[in-house]
Structure 1
């Protein structure tokens, strides 16, 4: 195996453990609710605390990436995430669980940004699109965490035991994969500052780079808004497909789970092959038409009255959603000064996380006003917004096949 192949495998591994870390915890939510005797609303608050930790980390880790490099940042973040995975199983009060989830959120959020930054480095070294395949590993990691966690619950294993095992496995992978990643290439190289004149020159150079990158700040924020819209649209499937199938279509709770399976399965499988489309047509094509296909699939769900039609809609939506967010992330790494790659990507990922957090609340609020299937129609509107946003990208970059 070549050094570049090892680096690709290492990033696959980091995406897998990050996706698994989320679902190893999430699958225990009903258990925690009963153990601590807390309400649904309290669980919702705890999920917001987890997201708040992730958002906090995202605001900080971009600068770390630019200063020490994506390899070191990924290793440190992944190791921290592994250690924090021990904590939720040890919490015996809602307050302690909130602290544990905030810290775990920091680990997951930091790892998310850092490994995406290193994935960009690996893709550049490959000189062909491979970015969406990394995100497929996040999806499959989530499936692994949910499956193992579910089996552990079915066999009456304590949450602390399961999460401790997951934490040990996460730490082992994070530590062993460090040497397989590409060498660091910090964007803020430490200049040989032998004289005061050298120091002044370096400060002047950094000041110019900061000023230059500020000119693209609005564009970076717009990319973040597109990614957030795509995240909320994607969340309609992840968060509401099962409930829609049970309450609107009228299936049993067990049968309703099929909706989530087909949606996530379609999305994860498509991510394994979408890079070939990127290579042939470019990132903008995938973002635009992926968003349109996602909107079409969601529309089919909105108007469906039978299970087969609804499931078909979720499959179409999953296929469309698969490449949108990964390609916006990858595109954001190409915007602005190379010295600010980590910070620009962190802004986009941070806004995306805000969309992930806000999505369930927005849909939930809409269900107070309109039926659930109509509320899910928000995904159609947001898919169209993201697709139209690519026109702004194309105007700014005449070459729509930039990769």
Structure 2
């Protein structure tokens, strides 16, 4: 590679007050939008309503199960249709985002999800429930790929590491959806609750979609005259073997992170009641503390990315989550377990959003689709793997695999960052120079 035109690393250059190198500052577009632009607010609203709608459905699963008279195994098969619909849709949506743009596909996907949310309340057999959950999963998977693709573009436009803030919106929406759903469980029927949730989703989609679609998207980055174009953009790098390997490694990072999220969602409460001998109330509070810690971690994720750099933040997150999971799994004490779950939530909080952001920078919407699909696979395999290992040994021992996966996710950030020295000019939006750099980007 011609070293006269491509610097070896962002760390070889002084960093300006905004976190940019001098070359990056020279490339900054004059009309950089403010940190909280209308497009960012609208896209955050999409993430929030996505989390709200999913939580609104989850809290009504017991009612729907009674309605269709499903056994545990039959319900498990029906719920698997959500995942099947999502995984089948994600690669297709990546191609649609390339062709039509991420923002219109985001609006269409959230519309489909909002329309699908009320349908489970009107099913009366396991087969019909599975069919509508396929549609629900398709909308959910499409929304996640399209929203993240739009977020990757907006991160490049803002030139700030704000991806965690979007996922904080999702977490806050999920907490709100679960809280509202629980409060209304004894007041509204399942049909009314899900119908109102769907109407709220359509209203937010219409309002936020109008803002998002009329706000100009980021223009492709064009180097100034005389500047080497050796650093390919996200669009130009999608077909390169290096970019594909990068997306794969980032997808594995998302998989390891989602493995822990899925495992804790299904097994944390049982571990607290059966192994730590906590009361039912404390056991419920255990998962709530984990969820709140993850939300707090994502709210502070942009600030931490600026101060530490994305690679250091991901490594620290993986090690923190690993230590927290070992504490929660192996120390038979309620305070220790709760403290461990807080550490797990804080540690895992930013691994997934940063991995998806970097996959989008490396491979565009198709990179987001690939990493999201791998991440969703981790969410799928986590609970059954933990169950199998728990039967073979014990649940605390099985939960230590969450610690191993979290540490591996953090170490993968080192592997990704270490493989890109000299790959591109630092500061290029979507270029390799943005990938897990340690130079803080303001």
Moved more, 239-248 or 228-237: 228-237
Question: Is 2:326–2:403's contact at 8 Å kept on the other side of the alignment?
Answer: yes
Post-superposition CA distance 1:275-322 (Å, at most 9, x none): 111112221111111011000100101221111111011111111111
Task: Provide the residue aligned with 1:201 in structure 2.
Answer: none
How far off its partner does 1:2 sit? Answer: 7.2
Structure 1's 160 and 314: CA in aligned 2 closer, same or farther, altered over 3 A? same
Structure-2 separation of matches of 1:43 and 1:65: 33
Match of residue 366, structure 1, among 385, 389, 398:
389
> How far apart are residue 211 of structure 1 and its match?
8.0
1:84-103 aligned within 5 A? 84-103=116-135
Give the Cα separation in 2 of the matches to 1:48 and 1:348.
20
Match for residue 9 of structure 1? 41
For the residue of structure 1 that corresponds to 2:185, the secondary structure is helix
Kindly provide the CA deviation profile for residues 176-205 of structure 1, in whole angstroms up to 9, marking residues without a partner as x.
111212435699xxxxxxxxxxxxxxxxxx
3-state SS in 2 of match to 1:249: coil
Question: RMSD value over aligned CA atoms?
Answer: 2.0
Q: Distance in 1 between matches of 2:65 and 2:198?
A: 22
CA distance in structure 2 between the aligned counterparts of 1:353 and 1:245, rounded to whole angstroms? 26
Higher helix share: 1
Segments of structure 2 that go 5 or more residues without pairing to the other structure are 1-32, 221-234, 422-432
Query: How many residues in Structure 1 have an aligned counterpart in Structure 2?
Result: 378
Aligned mate of 2:408, from 379, 385, 398: 385
Aligned residue number for residue 438 of structure 2: 401
CA 186–92 in structure 1, closer or farther in 2 if over 3 Å, else same: farther
Counterpart of 1:344?
Answer: 367
Residue among 125, 133, 139 paired with 2:157: 125
Name the counterpart of 1:194: none
TM-score, normalised via structure 1 length: 0.89
Stretches of structure 1 that go unaligned for 5 or more consecutive residues are: 188-207
Name 2:291's counterpart in structure 1.
264
Whole-angstrom CA distance in 1 between matches of 2:314 and 2:323: 14
Residues 69 and 184, structure 1, Cα contact 8 Å, conserved in 2 = no
Instruction: Describe the superposition over 1:208-234 as per-residue Cα deviations: whole angstroms up to 9, x where unpaired.
Output: 958833553233122211210111123
Counterparts of 1:70 and 1:282 in 2: how far apart (Å)? Answer: 27
Check whether the contact 2:64–2:121 (CA below 8 A) recurs between aligned residues: no
Task: For 1:156-167, list aligned pairs within 5 A.
Answer: 157-167=188-198
Q: Which residue of 2 aligns with 1:58?
A: 90
Matched, 1:273 2:296: no
Cα deviation, residue 252, structure 1: 2.3
Please give the alpha-carbon distance, in whole angstroms, between the structure 1 residues aligned to 2:56 and 2:178. Answer: 6
* Whole-Å separation in 1 of the counterparts to 2:59 and 2:259: 21
SS at match of 1:333: helix
Matched position secondary structure for 2:124: coil
Contact 2:154/2:217 (<8 A) preserved: no
Q: 1:302 aligns with which of 329, 335, 341?
A: 329
Residue 198 of structure 2 corresponds to residue 171 of structure 1: no
Moved more, 387-396 or 168-177: 387-396
Equivalent of residue 283 in structure 1, options 310, 326, 329: 310
1:238 positional shift = 2.3
Alignment check: 8 A CA contact 1:224 1:349 kept: yes
The separation in 1 between residues aligned to 2:132 and 2:379, in whole angstroms, is 20
| Separation (CA, whole Å) in 2 of partners of 1:55 and 1:212 | 22
Question: Aligned partners of 2:261 and 2:108: how far apart in 1?
Answer: 29
Deviation, 1:65, is 0.8
Please name the residue that 1:218 is paired with: 245
Q: Which residue among 108, 128, 143 is the counterpart of 2:140?
A: 108
- Tell me, in whole angstroms, the C-alpha distance in 2 between the residues paired with 1:246 and 1:236: 16
Provide, for residues 64-114 of structure 1, a one-character-per-residue CA deviation record: whole Å limited to 9, x for no partner.
111111111111111111111121111111111111111011001101111
Distance 1:314 1:3 in 2: 32
